[in-house]
Structure 1
Amino acid sequence: MARAIWTGAISFGLVTIPVKLYAAVQSKSVKFNQLDGQDHQRIQMKRVNAATGEEVPYARIVKGYELAKDRYVIIEPGELESLDPKKTKTIDIDAFVDLAEIDPIHYDHAYYLAPAPGGAKPYRLLVDTMAETGKVAIATVVIRSKEQLVALRAAGDVMAMTTMVFPDEVVDPKTLDEIPNADEIQSSDRELAMARQLVESLADPFEPGRYRDTYREQILAMIERKANGEVVSVEAPVEGEEAPAPDLMAALKASLDAARAGDDADAPAKKAPAKRKAPAAPKAAKTPATK
């Protein structure tokens, strides 16, 4: 059973909806401990003075902001606490916007909001209204002494809340040196037409279940084999020479031909079962088509 990590209320206008916050994503990355290669004992990380090599007790550690090399401004805990935003326990909605207006680059961590006691009716009303209008609520909330910019949206029968980065945290793509100048490099109509055909040939509804973390699965499988006493052989990867960049039109045509060939190969497999009949079976007992 999931446990709430925060409780508070959604506030907009004169409406207040008590809610509980739950994590919407669970990391499944394989984590390793650092061990001594000789006796496989855990490695301890110690706080050490870089100049003296002396281990420093936690109570003696202070926060410092580096202005220049070896020059710091020391900030005391009380000074930071005086700047903490007021903990209102309220998700204050500032505006409702269209989902398409939000660039996904602004999204950070995902959560679910569930109604707290007494909030079921207004919670349901807000979820239904946001789903019907296609609007997303932009709000602010203080979580763990940090003010967060968040987006609230309807996700089926549940309200999802995603923390967002502030605008000044997004890197301006104009600062990237490698981006080609659109005035200097332009796509021809023929290139655009072929690229569009390739995109359309690969178009498909998004099905999250189709995708798996195969690297994690391989790591876990290897761990299980080694835990069972199996010796795992390691082959060094072969580094080949970097191939020259192919001709763009030739690459587009080859990709499009491969995509079409894949579609043609799948078509008979999908149609074949519908044509077969079970031996000595009545007409109604045809094998259904594979979906």
Structure 2
Amino acid sequence: MATASRTLWKGAITFGLVHIPVGLHTASIEQGVDFDWLDKRSMDPVGYKRINKRTGKEIDKDDIVKGFEYEDGKYVVISPEEIEAIYPRTTQTIEIQRFIDANEIPFVYLERPYYVAPINRGQKVYALLREVLVKTGKVGLAKVVISTKQHLAALMPAGEVLVLNLLRWGDEVKSLAGLDLPAAGVKGAKVTASEMKMAEQLVKDMSGKWNPDEFKDEFKHAVMKIAQKKVKAGDTETVIEPEEEGPAQGAEIIDLTELLTRSLKGGKAAKSAGSSAKKSAGSRTSAGAKKTGAAAKKAPRKKAPGPRRKAA
């Protein structure tokens, strides 16, 4: 099993007036099999070209603008300056908006998990949040900006670690309209008592403990066997690719655990203090975050994205 990756992002979890300094780590890896396109004559990577779909001719990047399709075949052009002005502000915080019951979020909304680990002596208040979530059966519904994109997320305990699950926005999940579904409930679906009894017995017979190691991507392992066989036989090719840049890291945020008591008091005083704390934290991180974001946007990409085709 792969171990946790290097820190992708540094910031803080915030709720009330409390800041918990944390680092973000990827919690998943791609399990599919990707095949890169190569030029068989030279074994060079094959990348995309900027092609005008009507003329079939390659065009210069300076002649490309970004268009938003508001109706079928109709676009408005959005300038780089207009896009820059509305980019989400990088705050380096996982800002909890509210706490909700853990079973309220349907699985269809879960998109991508990240491990959240404490940094800068934030272990105690991190543990406090983790344990109170376990005891209350709640998860923190939060907003976070990662790589200039704002996400809705659920912060939930999973054993010793807090996991930040990025969520799909409400308008990204399709409605059930148009699906031919049976009515809800046993009576509505016209399921008989004997059918229900047999189905329950079958579920009971097939039940077991959750063990992810028991399930493998069979196609991936078959491809790996073929690849290993070719490697042993010396049937390999060398492809030279540019090095990729590592992810930028944000500024560290000071632990403000002493604000927990003031958060519980509520009222105007707490709100005023919270506004000042967030403004102060923002001033400490905005300069570094904006500089990092600007550098990431202006830096030339060293590796052209090659077309990849995943096995069905």
TM-score clears 0.5 = yes
Asked if 1:78 corresponds to 2:84, the answer is no
Asked if 1:129 corresponds to 2:132, the answer is yes
> How far apart are the structure 2 equivalents of 1:219 and 1:5?
30
Moved more, 194-203 or 92-101: 92-101
Q: Highest Rg: 1 or 2?
A: 1
Q: Which amino acid aligns with 1:126?
A: L
Q: 1:175 aligns with which of 174, 178, 183?
A: 178
Cα gap change, 1:174/1:189 in structure 2, threshold over 3 Å: closer, same or farther? farther
> How far apart are the structure 1 equivalents of 2:203 and 2:39?
51
Q: Percent identity of the aligned residues? A: 36
Counterpart of 2:110 in structure 1 is: 107
Cα gap change, 1:115/1:73 in structure 2, threshold over 3 Å: closer, same or farther? same
Cα gap change, 1:11/1:61 in structure 2, threshold over 3 Å: closer, same or farther? same
> How far apart are the structure 2 equivalents of 1:212 and 1:192?
31
| 1:62-117 alpha-carbon deviations (Å, 9 max, x no partner) | 11122455532111111112112222211111111221222111111000111121
Matches within 5 A, 1:119-268: 119-176=122-179, 178-181=180-183, 185-229=189-233
Q: Structure 1 regions of 5+ residues with no counterpart?
A: 232-291
Counterpart of 1:116 in structure 2 is: 119
CA contact (8 A) 2:151 2:167 kept: yes
> How far apart are the structure 1 equivalents of 2:112 and 2:197?
38
Structure with the larger RCO, 1 or 2 (CA within 8 Å, 6+ apart): 2
> How far apart are the structure 2 equivalents of 1:185 and 1:125?
46
> How far apart are the structure 2 equivalents of 1:49 and 1:174?
37
Q: Which amino acid aligns with 1:104?
A: F
The CA deviation at 1:152 is 0.6
Q: Which amino acid aligns with 1:222?
A: I
For the residue of structure 2 that corresponds to 1:117, the secondary structure is coil
The CA deviation at 1:30 is 2.3
> How far apart are the structure 2 equivalents of 1:149 and 1:113?
15
The CA deviation at 1:186 is 1.3
Q: Which amino acid aligns with 1:21?
A: L
Runs of 4+ in 1 over 6 A off after TM superposition: none
Counterpart of 2:9 in structure 1 is: 6
Asked if 1:54 corresponds to 2:57, the answer is yes
Q: Structure 2 regions of 5+ residues with no counterpart?
A: 236-312
Taking structure 2 as the reference length, the TM-score comes to: 0.67
> How far apart are the structure 2 equivalents of 1:21 and 1:44?
31
Q: Which amino acid aligns with 1:207?
A: N
> How far apart are the structure 1 equivalents of 2:156 and 2:125?
15
CA contact (8 A) 2:31 2:217 kept: no
> How far apart are the structure 1 equivalents of 2:131 and 2:70?
51
For the residue of structure 1 that corresponds to 2:116, the secondary structure is strand
Q: Which amino acid aligns with 2:173?
A: V
Cα gap change, 1:187/1:146 in structure 2, threshold over 3 Å: closer, same or farther? same
Cα gap change, 1:85/1:41 in structure 2, threshold over 3 Å: closer, same or farther? closer
| 1:205-244 alpha-carbon deviations (Å, 9 max, x no partner) | 211221111221011112223444599xxxxxxxxxxxxx
| 1:224-281 alpha-carbon deviations (Å, 9 max, x no partner) | 23444599xxxxxxxxxxxxxxxxxxxxxxxxxxxxxxxxxxxxxxxxxxxxxxxxxx
The CA deviation at 1:32 is 1.1
> How far apart are the structure 2 equivalents of 1:100 and 1:184?
25
Q: Which amino acid aligns with 2:152?
A: L
> How far apart are the structure 1 equivalents of 2:9 and 2:182?
46
CA contact (8 A) 2:114 2:164 kept: yes
CA contact (8 A) 2:110 2:165 kept: yes
Q: How many residues align?
A: 230
* RMSD between superposed Cα atoms in Å: 2.3
Moved more, 114-123 or 63-72: 63-72
